[in-house]
A and B are shown apart, each in its own frame.
Chain A
């Protein structure tokens, strides 16, 4: 649901093996970055998946923790799969320092590059809300800094809400993001 640039997303109760692991809830996301933290395995990814599946009126794009770039396609072909606007893709690749990787396949790129490329793919799909699952996981500090630069660039260039989940919330302090915490059993969300 949209209102004054604010996107409200909701999710239902989620069960795993018959046991409720995540309580239903909703979040009003403002343009900019919102971070959901919580312990590993608490249900952060489940919440993102539920948001991606449950809000049919909103175009939400989920960028997975494991970059799901197709390894048999070059980066250019991967991007062309979700958008025909080549110029837009080039612009974002340039901003993210990936312009020289157009002809490379994911297996020829580092994990940090693949993560940024996956975010570019998410952006050119023109989402109303961008969902990022543990974008800093397994990255070294240099790559985390590059990733943050990219997120700052998105926040400045596109006024869309970004909802990211991470169990390492300190990585994202620089973004001055609105913070939420997912905890409890079954997990529920609250503002920090």
Chain B
């Protein structure tokens, strides 16, 4: 039922787009069929897959690194008050540093390289992950820490069995917001200093004033991100958080 509702909602958006494009300049806002035709053409030439693949690779690499760095920083700040007092301001500073500044500085420091591109996005997105994880760690239930201490659980047992399950909602929030923001920043990175990727293609077709192709590339990546959400993130979230729906049965048992 939810899928039907989501499809109907998207259909409504499509109709709205059609309606607005009908009364606009088609060069500025082409109708959906023109964008679809551009998409099919790009798929036919193989260009779409090449550039989509390049962008996806950068998203995975940059977000993976940002995730690892952000989780380590977030857990450290959340658990160790001294570190939090000293370094929380660093995190908020980097959180508010414009992505463009980080990208330009990385390109200047390391040259127009793949490493600089990925590093820039990592530096820009790690603070967001860190903030989410730190908030999650600060909401840990102290009774589980007391249990772990009372039973002498090892550090790895605590991380695996107590910390990660409590962090799950925050990790999923960080995953969602982080992924959606990462790919947008990646486009800027590609637009400024790469010769492949969706951002590069958008820049190219901007110069040619072909808005239909620009929208085709943007739409294709939105579809990829939606597929990741529906085929990977949601099923995983549903699986790891299945225990949250427990409870009603308990009332019936003695």
Contact = CB atoms under 8 A, between A and B. Distances in A.
A9 to B, nearest CB: 14
Contacts of A109: 250, 253
A92 interface: no
B151 interface: yes
Interface stretch (A14-22, A25-33, A34-42, A59-67): A59-67
Contacts of A72: 165, 240, 243
Interface in A66-118: 66, 68, 70-73, 77, 81-82, 105-113
B98 to A, nearest CB: 39
A72 B243 CA distance: 5
State which size class the interface on A falls in: 20 to 34
Given A70-B144, A72-B243, A142-B254, A125 B249 contact: no
B247 interface: yes
Given A61-B150, A113-B253, A68 B246 contact: no
Contact of B246 (A70, A105, A121, A125): A105
A112 B254 CA distance: 7
Given A61-B151, A81-B153, A81-B157, A68 B253 contact: no
A143 B161 contact: no
A70 B143 contact: no
A62 B150 contact: yes
A68 B254 contact: no
Given A61-B151, A81-B157, A110-B254, A68 B249 contact: no
A52 interface: yes
B150 A52 contact: yes
Interface in B147-202: 147, 150-151, 153, 157, 161-162, 165
A77 B243 CA distance: 13
B151 A82 contact: yes
Interface residues of B, number: 20
Dominant SS among interface residues on chain B: helix
B146 interface: yes
Contacts of B251: 110
B30 to A, nearest CB: 49
A142 B151 CA distance: 29
Contacts of B150: 52, 61-62
Contacts of A111: 250
A61 B249 CA distance: 29
A106 B143 contact: no
Interface in A112-169: 112-113, 121, 125, 142-143
A110 B162 CA distance: 22
B249 A108 contact: yes
A110 B144 CA distance: 20
Contacts of A142: 254
A165 B69 CA distance: 46
A70 B243 CA distance: 10
A110 B250 contact: yes
Contacts of B162: 70
Contacts of A52: 150
Contacts of B147: 64, 68
Given A52-B150, A81-B161, A108 B250 contact: yes
7 contacts: A61-B151, A81-B151, A107-B246, A110-B253, A121-B151, A125-B151, A143-B254
Interface of B: 143-144, 146-147, 150-151, 153, 157, 161-162, 165, 240, 243, 246-247, 249-251, 253-254
Q: Which 4 A-B pairs have the closest CB atoms?
A: A107-B246, A68-B147, A72-B165, A72-B243
